[in-house]
Structure 1
Amino acid sequence: MNFHGIYPSTVLPMHPDFAPDWEAYAKHTAHCVLRPGIAGVLMNGHAGENFVMSRAEKKRAVEVTVATVGASRIVVAGVNAESSLEAAEEAREARAAGAHAIMVFLPNAFAMAHTTEMALLHHRTIMAAVPGMPLWLFQAHHRAGHMGFTPETLDALLDIPEVVGIKEGAWEVDAYDALRRRVKARRPDVAVCASGDEHLLACYVHGSDGSLVSLADLMPDEIVALDAAIRAGDLTAARALHERLEPLAEAIYGAPPGGRATARLKFCLAEMGVIPCPAVRPPQPPVLGAEAAMLRLALRESGVLA
């Protein structure tokens, strides 16, 4: 299976009481995934609030995703738990629900400190529960403490034969290119996907095998077109697409305070009429006031809303 391409990283719509709205989730998934040029979907990722969902909810999300996109797209299920044993159960349930691959997110405790041995043990414990299942790695944000992989840890993880791709989410272009070069030198078969939503143009110019990004929830066609323009060497078209994408990317991911992407994505999807309710689980508060006005302006500047 070729894992290159563009994957929207979906949110999980909720009712006002914070219960998952599965009907809205299916509609949202179909809206951004069932489009020309979209390779698959990353669900149960950070945008999908995987850190505040129960295991039963995560399994149900995989089931709904598979029922929505069928065999036409690749379904990558995020696995996120502090315990390696719990993460292994998540992976087993994702496979049983029909996921084609998993993406392992590191435990939040790793932000304090972790070793290569810890990272290897975490990933190998998970893979022992789903032998042979394709595995995506996740490179954390450059401000996520010690969570990101060191070069030595990355090399060790690339020795796991099931690794098929890496979502490079360091959000720093030089770090992205250094990782891309290291991976391609060691495992040229592994898909290195640029996933800093604000820096897609720069990363694509360096070279990329695709992206797994939540900005594609809102502007999937434009991201597919940006990727295609760079591959065709059409920088004029690529810059024009960047000018459309950047206002919304900056508003969602760049504007302070940080860590508000999911709440802002849900607000935008509700403004677009894709989902009925922008509820996000506590401790994240709703989008209101000046933040709402900023996002409405960005939606207009990016051409998403008239």
Structure 2
Amino acid sequence: MTEFSKTSPAARLSGIHAATICPFDGRFEIEETALARHVAEVCAVPGIDGLLINGHAGENFVLDPAEKARVVSVIRAALGPDVFLTCGINAESSLQAARDAEAAEAAGADAVLLFPPNAWGLGQTPEAVRLHHEAVISACGLPIVLYQAPVGAGGMPYPVPTLLDLVRSDRVIGIKEGSWEAAAYEQNRRAVKAVRPDIAVLGSGDEHLLACYLLGTEGSQVSLAAIVPEAVVALWQAAQAEDWTAARAWHDAIYPLAVAIYRERPGSYATARLKACLKILGRLGDDRARPPVPPLSPEEYRRLEAALAHADRASQSLPLAREQAA
């Protein structure tokens, strides 16, 4: 079996990849200038190794196919050829997912993250899962990243036998492990690594990154890295150095923010909260999300402001991991 190494195809998934948002204007059209500025600011932070675009944070579920391709084009033009871009593919139809993957490749994506159709929340079969992934693999030449949905997402998460079936394809180079539960994360990671040690299993539960890093991971694709990238990078680098005291301190700094964004119900408001954080920080002018997500309440803004203030205060007393290394 091929071991994971710096020369393996999955190596480009290592480290911190920020899952970015998609700004809209007053008519809910993509604000391309703001989008280009957003991704450039995130990528300017040392230690950000790539981006996940058109993910949940990028509102891929409300973008039409042409808009999704346009997002890739705008970001590739803004960042140049060297930034690794994983593009989310989220469609109920396998045929549409295949077309979206083909368009993402043409627009400049380096890999695709294939989300399960939302209908699978009511249940799935191994045959349907295999068919969906085979359609995308046949439509493009890009590496594939699997998405393991949260344990609370009904029938959407893949059982271990299904994961093992999917990773038989050498086109699959990684898993965005979003189980959002440490026991499931460890079970899935151990099972996959036993048969495909070369795959990158990405600890991607923003609320429990520290636990994922303790259990083992090759990196993360997380939207929290688009809000407080320096802190997420510092947590990752401390974990890589096995400085668990520093890693715990960085976890404590960002934990209230992760809870305010992701744990508060309804979970479908997470993207709106991400945008609100960017507006509070002065890095986004218009924070509207597309309907049916409404504007956030003043109480939501106060909760996010308090969590951001906590992260800032806590971070002031903590040296960045790269400074410690120096």
Shorter-chain TM-score tier: over 0.9
Shift of the alpha carbon at 1:159? 0.8
SS in 1 for 2:116: coil
Shift of the alpha carbon at 1:42? 0.3
SS in 2 for 1:164: strand
In 1, Cα distance between equivalents of 2:267 and 2:120: 20
Shift of the alpha carbon at 1:232? 1.0
Instruction: Give the corresponding residue for 1:237.
Output: 246
Instruction: Give the corresponding residue for 1:194.
Output: 203
Shift of the alpha carbon at 1:93? 0.4
In 2, Cα distance between equivalents of 1:35 and 1:258: 28
In 1, Cα distance between equivalents of 2:150 and 2:252: 24
RMSD, aligned α-carbons: 1.4
In 1, Cα distance between equivalents of 2:99 and 2:276: 32
Counterpart code for 2:104: A
SS in 2 for 1:142: coil
1:70 to 60, 72, 80: 80
SS in 2 for 1:41: strand
What does the per-residue CA deviation read over 1:187-231, in whole Å, with 9 as the maximum and x for residues that have no partner? 011000000000001110111111000000111111111111112
1:265 to 252, 270, 274: 274
1:293 equivalent in alignment to 2:293: no
In 2, Cα distance between equivalents of 1:93 and 1:256: 34
Instruction: Give the corresponding residue for 1:142.
Output: 151
Counterpart code for 1:251: A
Shift of the alpha carbon at 1:88? 0.4
In 1, Cα distance between equivalents of 2:83 and 2:230: 16
What does the per-residue CA deviation read over 1:218-265, in whole Å, with 9 as the maximum and x for residues that have no partner? 111111111111121111111111111111111101122322110000
In 2, Cα distance between equivalents of 1:81 and 1:244: 36
1:106 to 82, 97, 116: 116
Instruction: Give the corresponding residue for 1:213.
Output: 222
Instruction: Give the corresponding residue for 1:8.
Output: 18
Structure 2: tracts of 5 or more residues without a match: 1-8, 317-326
Asked if the contact 1:75–1:101 (Cα under 8 Å) also holds between the matched residues in 2, the reply is yes
Instruction: Give the corresponding residue for 1:246.
Output: 255
1:153 to 147, 157, 162: 162
TM-score by length of 1: 0.97
1:177 equivalent in alignment to 2:195: no
Give the 5 Å matches for 1:276-287.
Answer: 276-287=285-296
Instruction: Give the corresponding residue for 1:23.
Output: 33
2:66 to 43, 50, 56: 56
TM-score by length of 2: 0.91
Counterpart code for 2:79: V
Asked if the contact 1:8–1:42 (Cα under 8 Å) also holds between the matched residues in 2, the reply is yes
Runs of 4+ that moved beyond 6 A: none
Structure 1: tracts of 5 or more residues without a match: none
Instruction: Give the corresponding residue for 2:48.
Output: 38
Instruction: Decide which structure has greater helix share.
Output: 2
In 2, Cα distance between equivalents of 1:53 and 1:36: 30
Instruction: Give the corresponding residue for 2:4.
Output: none
In 2, Cα distance between equivalents of 1:300 and 1:35: 20
Instruction: Give the corresponding residue for 1:165.
Output: 174
Asked if the contact 1:34–1:69 (Cα under 8 Å) also holds between the matched residues in 2, the reply is no
Shift of the alpha carbon at 1:112? 0.7
Shift of the alpha carbon at 1:110? 0.9
SS in 2 for 1:252: helix
Percent identity (aligned):
47
Shift of the alpha carbon at 1:35? 2.2
Counterpart code for 2:128: M
In 2, Cα distance between equivalents of 1:71 and 1:20: 22
In 1, Cα distance between equivalents of 2:266 and 2:76: 34
